[in-house]
């Protein structure tokens, strides 16, 4: 029987959990855990894996600021570095668990509209968390924009909407060859056309939006968003919090979700369903396969 195709979006905070030191060995440990969950899904589905890069791209930017003999590298270049770094470890850990499975990692560019209003209102958190005083000091020093992230503060950068996957044909070809494909990491490297040529853009695309865009383009059977929350909750963090187990875009439209965490995931999910997608699952990394089966997390379906 032909396997169904699922696009799995793996959060950058699942690879480096909130508050953990930005150490390579800690990320490898977390990725090894993630790979076990992805491998279980890959036994029953064709998997196309998209990963976040918020903590990692922010760390690279910080490291670049410390070496003053060269200008800091732009975010599109740093994004490509995170695709290679995270993709390499994911590819290695998945191959160790599934030695017979072809696993490929593709450096992927994503086109954006240079007139996107997101450039005037940065919202994408990158890098580590800071207390407010430290965040304000760094913002002054480096001309950053900082915004609250839960009880902490983080640097935020523009996060434009994806408009096209440059390496779309290559991704499709690898899927047809039954590869487990890792692509559009960090939402894809943001690029635009300038005088007929592709050039990088100073931004970080939301990986959930890119995953939804990719899932629609591939006509995937499902989109699975794995995060550090067990499900989509109403009244998150309050005594009245309640998990939504099965819902629809119209029901979700009645509620407001945090723009720095669950909000973009809800927006991406509804975008996929409203454009003809059949199923979105949202929940914890460890429950990935159970979420797709409706046994855990939150399922979002068409009306």
Question: Which entry of 11, 13, 87, 216 is annotated as an active-site residue?
Answer: 13
Look at the block and give the residue holding tokens 């995953």: 211
Catalytic: 276? no
Per-residue tokens: 162: 């994806």
Question: Which entry of 30, 53, 54, 124 is annotated as an active-site residue?
Answer: 124
* Closest C-alpha to 19, from 208, 149, 156: 149
Catalytic: 265? yes
DSSP for 16-29, please give it: S-TT----HHHHHH
Contact residues for 277 (Cβ-Cβ < 8 A; gap 6+): 212, 215, 216, 220, 222, 223, 302
Catalytic: 141? no
Q: Helices in 43-180 by DSSP H: which ranges?
A: 54-66, 75-97, 132-142, 168-176
Question: Which entry of 11, 12, 188, 281 is annotated as an active-site residue?
Answer: 12
Contact residues for 44 (Cβ-Cβ < 8 A; gap 6+): 3, 289
Catalytic: 207? yes
User: Residue 111 in 3-state DSSP?
Assistant: strand
Catalytic: 69? no
Question: Which entry of 53, 207, 277, 281 is annotated as an active-site residue?
Answer: 207
* Closest C-alpha to 158, from 102, 109, 116, 111: 116
Question: Which entry of 52, 186, 187, 265 is annotated as an active-site residue?
Answer: 265
Catalytic residues, by residue number, are: 12-13, 124, 207, 265
């Amino acid at each position: 029987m032909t396997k169904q195709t699922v696009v799995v979006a793996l959060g950058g905070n699942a690879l480096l959990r909130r508050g953990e030191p930005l150490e390579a060995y800690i990320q490898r440990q977390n990725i090894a855990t993630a790979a076990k969950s992805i491998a279980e899904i890959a036994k029953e589905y064709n998997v196309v894996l998209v990963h976040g890069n918020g903590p990692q791209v922010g760390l690279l930017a910080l490291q670049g600021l410390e070496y003053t003999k060269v200008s800091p590298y732009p975010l599109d270049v740093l994004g490509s570095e995170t695709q290679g770094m995270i993709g390499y470890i994911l590819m290695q850990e998945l191959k160790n668990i599934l030695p017979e499975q072809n696993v490929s990692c593709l450096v992927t560019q994503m086109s954006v509209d240079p007139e996107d209003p997101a450039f005037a209102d940065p919202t994408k958190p990158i890098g580590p968390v800071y207390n407010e005083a430290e965040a304000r000091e760094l913002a002054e020093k480096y001309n950053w924009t900082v915004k609250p992230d839960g009880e902490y503060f983080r640097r935020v950068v523009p996060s434009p909407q994806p408009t096209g996957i440059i390496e779309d044909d290559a991704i499709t070809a690898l899927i047809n060859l039954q590869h487990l494909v890792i692509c559009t990491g960090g939402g894809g490297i943001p690029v635009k056309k300038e005088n007929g040529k592709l050039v990088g853009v100073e931004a970080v695309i939301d990986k959930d939006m890119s995953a939804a865009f990719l899932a629609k383009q591939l006509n995937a059977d499902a989109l699975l968003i794995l995060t550090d929350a067990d499900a989509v909750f109403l009244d998150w963090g309050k005594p009245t919090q309640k998990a939504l187990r099965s819902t629809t875009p119209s029901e979700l439209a009645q509620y407001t979700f945090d723009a720095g965490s669950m909000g973009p995931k809800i927006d991406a999910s509804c975008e996929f369903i409203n454009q003809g997608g059949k199923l979105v699952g949202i929940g914890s990394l460890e429950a990935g396969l159970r979420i797709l089966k409706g046994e855990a997390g939150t399922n979002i379906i068409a009306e």
